[in-house]
Structure 1
């Protein structure tokens, strides 16, 4: 019985310490060109969560058209997106990413 209690406590603790996925309506753009991130070279997609920019895994900067397009490209424009995921190891791990409707 004591072992069952200990095992249950460990499982509960581990499930509480894992970051939970959340859905955000937030800004997305090129981390280097628009958000000033310098930890990577080139142009990479990033989002802002609580006013902090994070590079994103799970979506690519060219998935939504040419990143350097003057009107919609993430290197030139900050766009509103709906994104689901969690911050992990200093990056945002996305399970869903879509351009928010205006």
Structure 2
């Protein structure tokens, strides 16, 4: 009987430890409304893996590529203050879907 109780306690502890150390599933549909974020080229400034210079935002410290707006919608990305050479601030709205930010509104803030 003691062995059975010990086995039960061991299994319960093992499941509890696993539940606490398992990676958390990321939010796939987080809505963002008028949040101030960093905005720049994901590859050049945020060191994201991609195929080309692509617009990205950092939301709560995590970078996301942007859908719905292009890096060139805001001027020359390779200019002196362009997104490939500098990180800017923007107020954004949209949602995070499948690890990408689906932008409905992006307003650059003055430097």
Cα-to-partner distance string for 1:4-28 (whole Å, 9 max, x where unaligned):
xxxxxxxxxxxxx964342211100
What is the CA-CA distance between 1:74 and the residue it aligns to? 0.2
Aligned to 1:56: 66
Structure 2 length-normalised TM? 0.70
Alignment of 1:31-42 (within 5 A): 31-38=42-49, 40-42=50-52
Larger radius of gyration: 2
Higher helix share: 2
- Structure 2 gaps, min length 5: 1-27
Give the CA deviation at 1:100: 1.3
Alpha-carbon distance in 1 for matches of 2:61, 2:47: 13
Please, which runs of 5 or more residues in structure 1 have no aligned partner? 1-16
Supply the RMSD in Å over aligned alpha carbons: 1.6
TM normalised by structure 1 equals: 0.76
1:53-85 deviation line (CA, Å, top 9, x unaligned): 000011110111100001x20000100001101
CA distance in 2, matches of 1:59, 1:79: 15
Match of 1:23 among 20, 34, 43: 34
